[in-house]
Chains A and B, each alone.
Chain A
Amino acid sequence: MAGERPVAFVAERQIPPSPPPVRTGGALGWARDNLFSGIFNSVATLLSLAFVAYILAMVVPWLFLDSVWNASSLQGCREVDDGACLAVINERFMQFVFGFYPDDLRWRPVVAFVLLFVAIWPALFSSAPRKLLIFSALYPLLAYWLIWGGSLWGPVGVVVGPAIGWACVRFLPSLAGGRLDEGIASLAAVGTGILATALWWLFGVTAFEDALSAVLVIGLEPVESARLGGFLLSSIIGVSGIAGSLPIGIVLALGRQSNLILIKAVCVGFIEFIRGVPLITLLFVAWLLLSYFLPPGTEFDLILRVVIMVTAFASAYMAEVIRGGLAGLPRGQYEAADSLGLDYWKSMRLIILPQALKISIPGIVNTFIGLFKDTTLVIIIGLLDPVGLLQPIRADQNWNGIVWELYGFIALFFFIFCFAMSRYSMYLERNLDVGHR
């Protein structure tokens, strides 16, 4: 066998590669598959594209190409160009952020805002030092003091209350010295502690503040509530509502699941009542009625009253979300906790709640988002959140006639915050979803 003749069935040359099928290759194939697979689909695609192009053609030149950033009035804007008159946002930006908060004191809310992140750090990340939780617990008072100002001794006096209560719980049982049954003694100590704290808050704080202020004056310049506004106000109401509604919601949800008929009835009544009425009526209550139910002559800040009602409102919704999580757990989990011999609080804290809260994260964050959006309703009772600031600006002679720029700006603000929150919840869901569900 000489090598001059090749074997008949072995190819000498490589066959040139054939082109890929038209339908699957490249962007065109994808477009044909996904966008133009039928007459109906093609029409829908073209209509959508036309709609997007129409909107973009309207908004892009107006917002980016022809917009005016520097002018002192709407006429000034129009003299420069006929696009969006963003000069109004440029001029009023600080008002949108702080309301009518005094210019030279604006560093105080800023500091409070920055410290907020320190305070929520241990709540968001488990790697944070645990000692920071003490700071988180003290943060509300610190923020209150920074934003509203006044004597430092007021907030300190408020902190002293729980300290007294803790001292009662810690030292009273040993004072009883075995004369009482141990459990009854500790229960009595807890009761005394709560009572002492409440009494201190009701009667002691003012005297404490006055006495110490007479000795040493430490304080910030007070700022009235009426001067708070803008995004600062939204954030105050939103953050305190969020911080308050989660624990109260958990308690309400547990109460609703409880075997104790009276506790259950109270929780169901509260939740259904709050969920049955619009937030506006609750804000009316905060505005007009709440002071009727407090001792005569009580001076009580409107923003604080609104925070209380908004928290109550969000708590009821939070309770329903968490109840869903509790009901979503298999019964076996409850039975397993019982069979381990854990008492009610331990089984809730160690077994049930960690799982139930994990399931309810999307709902919890949705409630947060809803709460934050609902802070805009306070304009109806006359507080000046960003939406409330629109009316004075539109009534201003210089800016009379501006509509879309202002609404767009406020909408963008809320969109950024709410969208970020919803993305964070998706991230959490993915991160916590370890293996099973």
Chain B
Amino acid sequence: MSSTGQPPPEPFRVRQLLYDTRYRSYTIQIFALVVIMLAFAWAIDNAVRNLAALGKDIDFGFIFETSAYDINQHLLDYDSTSTHGRAALVGIINTILVAIMGCITATVIGIFAGVLRLSRNWVVARLMTVYIETVRNIPVLIWILFTVAIVNEALPGIRSFRGEDAMSGLLFDSVFITNRGFYIPAPVFEAGSAVVGAVLLLSLAAAWYFGRWARVRQAATGQILPVFRVRLAILTVPVLLAFFAMGSPISLELPALKGFNFKGGIYMRDSLIGLWLALSVYTGAFIAEIVRAGILAISKGQTEAAHALGLRPGRTMSLVVLPQALRVIVPPLISQFLNLTKNSSLAIAVGYMDATGTLGGITLNQTGREMECILLLMAFYLAASLTISGAMNAYNRRASLKER
């Protein structure tokens, strides 16, 4: 074969930057880069000049200064002599607390409502439709304010638990629902409870390992072991034995009325209760729709095919239907959890001291460092979101159908 030789190299001309697709994308990108850099430079220059005019600078030193304000709910040691940084940490933990509580109850409510909405029972299905449509079409802020108002205005005052015809608490006088919040029993850990905890951890590991071993064995031999029952035994028996062997080191401390207020137990204040319930009910309605869509997405043929293969209903559910339905349900479910976490920042409207209330509220007002506080606040939420959505993407990659 005779080589035809390279075509003579064309001299580069300026118009190739515009017409030649090899170069045009670079032209556009370099142009965009220049415009973006100019815009940033302009904004930063403005910020520097504005800050200079106000005599301010960017300084995160306030984090180590004394905060001089109290936070009514703190899970860490905290008082007004602690630093702003610790106040922010307390707020972040409060955010995480309400977010985790909300995610759990919202999921329960959502699954319940979503399944019932598909019920053949007309009344029940309609009722769930009304719940979902009402809740989804009213702003979450109104729900939060409304729920806190219900707690404050409609629940019995502490006074009604005192005196002659006193109300008694729920669950054998252990839980008190008042207009100031809920009082629930607190676990008390005495010496020896560490042993119980260690045993619990060990049996968790053992249960996990047993499940894996059973799966490997089933793959190798085809024998099916009673995994659930064995796991239940592994989880409960050693822990109970350890509990009684150490002389019942964990007990419950009940709240009791002393004077004008309840003492002992755990106090969940009204703003926490209102925020938690409102976020759960609101997000629950969205989760219900996700669950419903997930169930409807699995065609009847899948169930019928599994039955035709001779699988029993329980195994049909766990091996055929659930894995497919979860693939549809989990990604939007996680993004609802994210929404709930972000919506928990509305705590500031009802005086619950979350990250927005401490870092973006009182600390910001006291130090006057808007730029730094809002940057830190955004960084916290961004880090939380990116972590969760990163985990979600990893799950998606593992669970998604492999197609073209």
Tell me whether A and B are bound partners.
yes
- CB proximity of B164 to chain A, nearest CB, Å: 27
A-B contact pairs, 30 of them (CB 8 A): A34-B121, A35-B122, A44-B119, A44-B121, A45-B123, A45-B124, A48-B123, A52-B123, A183-B18, A183-B19, A184-B18, A262-B33, A266-B32, A276-B385, A278-B381, A280-B360, A284-B360, A292-B46, A292-B371, A293-B44, A293-B46, A296-B46, A296-B53, A369-B137, A373-B140, A403-B149, A407-B142, A407-B146, A415-B137, A419-B133
Mark B236-268 against chain A: 1 for CB-CB distance below 8 A, else 0.
000000000000000000000000000000000
User: Closest 5 A-B residue pairs measured CB to CB?
Assistant: A276-B385, A418-B137, A373-B139, A278-B342, A288-B370
Question: When the two chains form their complex, are residues B343 and A278 in contact, meaning their CB atoms are under 8 A apart?
Answer: yes
- CB proximity of A424 to chain B, nearest CB, Å: 13
CB-nearest residue of chain A to B349: A380
CA distance A184 to B17 in the complex (A): 10
For chain B residues 202-249, which have a beta carbon within 8 Å of chain A?
none
Chain B residues near A414: list those with CB within 8 A: 137-139, 142
CB-nearest residue of chain A to B30: A262
Known: A35-B121, A45-B121, A292-B371. Is A379-B349 also a contact (CB below 8 A)? yes
* A263 CB contact (under 8 Å) in B32, B342, B378, B382: B32
Known: A184-B18, A292-B47. Is A262-B29 also a contact (CB below 8 A)? yes
CA distance A279 to B342 in the complex (A): 8
Chain A residues near B140: list those with CB within 8 A: 373
Query: Cβ of B51 < 8 Å from any Cβ of A?
Result: yes
CA distance A51 to B130 in the complex (A): 13
Question: When the two chains form their complex, are residues B25 and A422 in contact, meaning their CB atoms are under 8 A apart?
Answer: no
Chain B residues near A276: list those with CB within 8 A: 381-382, 385-386, 389
Q: A284-B370, A377-B141 are in contact. List 7 more A-B contacts (CB 8 A).
A: A45-B123, A51-B127, A260-B25, A266-B36, A278-B345, A284-B360, A414-B139
CA distance A284 to B356 in the complex (A): 10
Q: How many A-B residue pairs have CB under 8 A?
A: 151
For chain A residues 285-313, which have a beta carbon within 8 Å of chain B?
285, 288-289, 291-296
For chain B residues 97-141, which have a beta carbon within 8 Å of chain A?
119-124, 127, 133-134, 136-141
- CB proximity of B392 to chain A, nearest CB, Å: 13
Query: Cβ of A273 < 8 Å from any Cβ of B?
Result: yes
Chain B interface main SS type: helix
Query: Cβ of A221 < 8 Å from any Cβ of B?
Result: no
- CB proximity of B389 to chain A, nearest CB, Å: 8
Chain B residues near A410: list those with CB within 8 A: 142
Question: When the two chains form their complex, are residues A263 and B141 in contact, meaning their CB atoms are under 8 A apart?
Answer: no
Q: In the complex, which range does the number of interface residues on chain B fall in?
A: 35 or more
Question: When the two chains form their complex, are residues A281 and B50 in contact, meaning their CB atoms are under 8 A apart?
Answer: no
CA distance A52 to B129 in the complex (A): 13
- CB proximity of A334 to chain B, nearest CB, Å: 13
Query: Cβ of A374 < 8 Å from any Cβ of B?
Result: yes
Chain A residues near B15: list those with CB within 8 A: 181, 183-184
CA distance A293 to B139 in the complex (A): 31
Query: Cβ of B173 < 8 Å from any Cβ of A?
Result: no
Chain A interface main SS type: helix
Chain A residues near B348: list those with CB within 8 A: 280, 380
Chain A residues near B322: list those with CB within 8 A: none
Query: Cβ of B188 < 8 Å from any Cβ of A?
Result: no
CB-nearest residue of chain B to A415: B137
Query: Cβ of B346 < 8 Å from any Cβ of A?
Result: yes
Known: A34-B122, A281-B374, A295-B46. Is A275-B138 also a contact (CB below 8 A)? no
Question: When the two chains form their complex, are residues A272 and B18 in contact, meaning their CB atoms are under 8 A apart?
Answer: no
CA distance A231 to B377 in the complex (A): 30
Chain A residues near B149: list those with CB within 8 A: 403-404, 407
CA distance A44 to B112 in the complex (A): 13
Chain A residues near B349: list those with CB within 8 A: 379-380
Chain A residues near B343: list those with CB within 8 A: 278
- CB proximity of B283 to chain A, nearest CB, Å: 13
CA distance A156 to B289 in the complex (A): 48
Mark A254-285 against chain B: 1 for CB-CB distance below 8 A, else 0.
00000111110010000011011111110011
Chain B residues near A296: list those with CB within 8 A: 46, 49-50, 53
Query: Cβ of A37 < 8 Å from any Cβ of B?
Result: yes
Mark B366-404 against chain A: 1 for CB-CB distance below 8 A, else 0.
000011001001100110011001000000000000001
Candidate in B119, B134, B345 with the most chain A CB atoms within 10 angstroms: B345
Question: When the two chains form their complex, are residues B19 and A374 in contact, meaning their CB atoms are under 8 A apart?
Answer: no
Candidate in B53, B142, B371 with the most chain A CB atoms within 10 angstroms: B142
Query: Cβ of A428 < 8 Å from any Cβ of B?
Result: no
- CB proximity of B165 to chain A, nearest CB, Å: 24
Question: When the two chains form their complex, are residues A48 and B124 in contact, meaning their CB atoms are under 8 A apart?
Answer: yes
CA distance A51 to B124 in the complex (A): 11
Question: When the two chains form their complex, are residues B374 and A285 in contact, meaning their CB atoms are under 8 A apart?
Answer: yes
Question: When the two chains form their complex, are residues B127 and A292 in contact, meaning their CB atoms are under 8 A apart?
Answer: no
Query: Cβ of B43 < 8 Å from any Cβ of A?
Result: yes
For chain A residues 210-246, which have a beta carbon within 8 Å of chain B?
none
Query: Cβ of B57 < 8 Å from any Cβ of A?
Result: no
CA distance A331 to B342 in the complex (A): 35
Query: Cβ of B326 < 8 Å from any Cβ of A?
Result: no
Query: Cβ of A41 < 8 Å from any Cβ of B?
Result: yes
Known: A44-B121, A280-B356, A295-B46. Is A387-B141 also a contact (CB below 8 A)? yes
CB-nearest residue of chain B to A407: B146
Query: Cβ of A56 < 8 Å from any Cβ of B?
Result: no
CB-nearest residue of chain B to A36: B121
Question: When the two chains form their complex, are residues B356 and A377 in contact, meaning their CB atoms are under 8 A apart?
Answer: no
Query: Cβ of A59 < 8 Å from any Cβ of B?
Result: no
Chain A residues near B360: list those with CB within 8 A: 280-281, 284
Query: Cβ of B65 < 8 Å from any Cβ of A?
Result: no
Known: A293-B47, A373-B140. Is A34-B29 also a contact (CB below 8 A)? no
CA distance A403 to B36 in the complex (A): 50
CB-nearest residue of chain A to B345: A278
Chain B residues near A259: list those with CB within 8 A: 25
- CB proximity of B137 to chain A, nearest CB, Å: 4
- CB proximity of A72 to chain B, nearest CB, Å: 23
Candidate in B43, B136, B343 with the most chain A CB atoms within 10 angstroms: B136
Chain B residues near A207: list those with CB within 8 A: none
Question: When the two chains form their complex, are residues A288 and B32 in contact, meaning their CB atoms are under 8 A apart?
Answer: no
Mark B290-316 against chain A: 1 for CB-CB distance below 8 A, else 0.
000000000000000000000000000
Question: When the two chains form their complex, are residues A411 and B142 in contact, meaning their CB atoms are under 8 A apart?
Answer: yes
For chain B residues 15-41, which have a beta carbon within 8 Å of chain A?
15, 18-19, 25, 28-29, 32-33, 36
- CB proximity of B331 to chain A, nearest CB, Å: 11
Chain A residues near B142: list those with CB within 8 A: 376, 387, 407, 410-411, 414
Chain A residues near B136: list those with CB within 8 A: 418
Chain B residues near A422: list those with CB within 8 A: 133, 137
CA distance A44 to B120 in the complex (A): 11
Question: When the two chains form their complex, are residues B134 and A415 in contact, meaning their CB atoms are under 8 A apart?
Answer: yes
Known: A276-B382, A276-B385, A280-B356. Is A289-B141 also a contact (CB below 8 A)? no
CA distance A387 to B360 in the complex (A): 21
CB-nearest residue of chain B to A403: B149
- CB proximity of A152 to chain B, nearest CB, Å: 30
Mark B134-178 against chain A: 1 for CB-CB distance below 8 A, else 0.
101111111001100100010000000000000000000000000
Known: A276-B381, A281-B360. Is A374-B137 also a contact (CB below 8 A)? no
Chain A residues near B50: list those with CB within 8 A: 291-292, 296
Query: Cβ of A163 < 8 Å from any Cβ of B?
Result: no
CA distance A128 to B376 in the complex (A): 50
Question: When the two chains form their complex, are residues B25 and A273 in contact, meaning their CB atoms are under 8 A apart?
Answer: no
For chain A residues 8-36, which have a beta carbon within 8 Å of chain B?
34-35
CA distance A187 to B29 in the complex (A): 15
Question: When the two chains form their complex, are residues B141 and A281 in contact, meaning their CB atoms are under 8 A apart?
Answer: no
Chain A residues near B134: list those with CB within 8 A: 415
